[in-house]
Amino acid sequence: MIVVRRLIIILEKQLRPVKLLIYIHLLILGLVACAPNGSTEKDCSLDNSISSERLIDSETLSLTSQFSETIVGDKRVFTTNNIPNHKVAPFPNASNPNTIKAINETLSIDYTPSIASQLTSLQSDFGPLYEFGIALNGVHFDPVAAEPWPHTSLNDPNVNWDWNLEATTNNLGLDISNAHVQPSGKYHYHGVPSDYIETLKATGNEMVQVGWAADGFPVYYKYGYADANDPASSIIELSPSYQLKTGSRPGDGITAPCGEYSGKYVNDFEYVEGLGQLDEANGRIGVTPEFPNGTYYYVLTDDFPGIPRYLVGTPSNDFKLMP
């Protein structure tokens, strides 16, 4: 501080008042922004807070769930009003200000899908690109949040979609079924829909289909055959091949988050081939009760990613979120 005071005295004698203010301002900025070793300090204190808070599904909607599935030519066609067939949390709430409304839709997917040459990510460089699919109660699986760094405004000059919040580890007003409501009134699942799963009585004694993906392949809850191609083998809980990264994020706390990987962001996780029974799209090829001759199928898992973040086939544009 003595050195600083002497410098100010010299500046007062030699510089005009306007220049003095400029030099003092720059000096203060230098003292605040630099650590003792000369490196720039990063404030990572707000980057790692995660939340598993869920709102209790205590309300029965006055609206009735409507869902049907038909085959028309080479398409599997759904009609839905997007109303769930189970209780929900109170909406609006403190973290989600929207009210559930009936959204009538007709959607279609391929009846005979095939695996494409490359995966399709549900998220693009500019935000959510596709919904994952639809549950057999007509509610959409839509795991990708629209919460990019730095979580202030989508018009923020530092918006960075590489660091998008993971919906299931942040307080986004989700209910027990890992769902909340869009401004349009559309109720949708960001994670494993617990109350919906209960209606299917998926207890682990058999494989249970829970929906269809946007590319036409079936979706099952977490249980499958120990031997993917042997329906006589035991039923086991299938494991994803993702894990939390170790170490710290490379961000500077301004253009990207810093701090240790905690699961707050989708990019905090990494795929490790062979870590579990499931592939990068959280699925595998095998037989199922509905497909005794075999098919590719996706799996909803309790651990990340929960709802898959990739599609192996060609997704229907009916599930596309942006042009």
With residues binned 3-state (H G I as helix, E B as strand, rest as coil), the percentages for the chain, rounded to 5, are: 15, 25, 60
Do 93 and 55 contact (CB within 8 A), yes or no? yes
Mutual orientation of helices 2-14 and 17-33 as an angle, nearest 10°? 160
Q: What are the residues whose beta carbons fall under 8 Å from the beta carbon of 118, sequence distance 6 or more?
A: none
- Name the pTM for this structure: 0.87
pLDDT given for residue 42 in this prediction: 72
Mean pLDDT for the chain? 89
3-state secondary structure 172-210: CCCECCCEEECCCCCEEECCCCHHHHHHCCCCCCCCCEE
User: What is the spatial distance between Cα 216 and Cα 239, in angstroms, rounded to a whole number?
Assistant: 22
User: What is the spatial distance between Cα 173 and Cα 181, in angstroms, rounded to a whole number?
Assistant: 9
pLDDT given for residue 78 in this prediction: 98
Tens of pLDDT, residues 59-98: 999 999 999 999 999 999 999 999 999 999 999 999 999 9
pLDDT given for residue 124 in this prediction: 96
pLDDT given for residue 44 in this prediction: 76
pLDDT given for residue 48 in this prediction: 83
Q: Is the pLDDT of residue 174 over 90?
A: yes
Instruction: State the average pLDDT over residues 124-132.
Output: 97
User: What is the spatial distance between Cα 191 and Cα 305, in angstroms, rounded to a whole number?
Assistant: 8
Amino acid at 311: L
291 against 254, higher pLDDT: 291
pLDDT given for residue 41 in this prediction: 62
Q: Is the pLDDT of residue 319 over 50?
A: yes
Q: Is the pLDDT of residue 17 over 70?
A: no
User: What is the spatial distance between Cα 59 and Cα 119, in angstroms, rounded to a whole number?
Assistant: 38
Tens of pLDDT, residues 43-53: 776 668 899 99
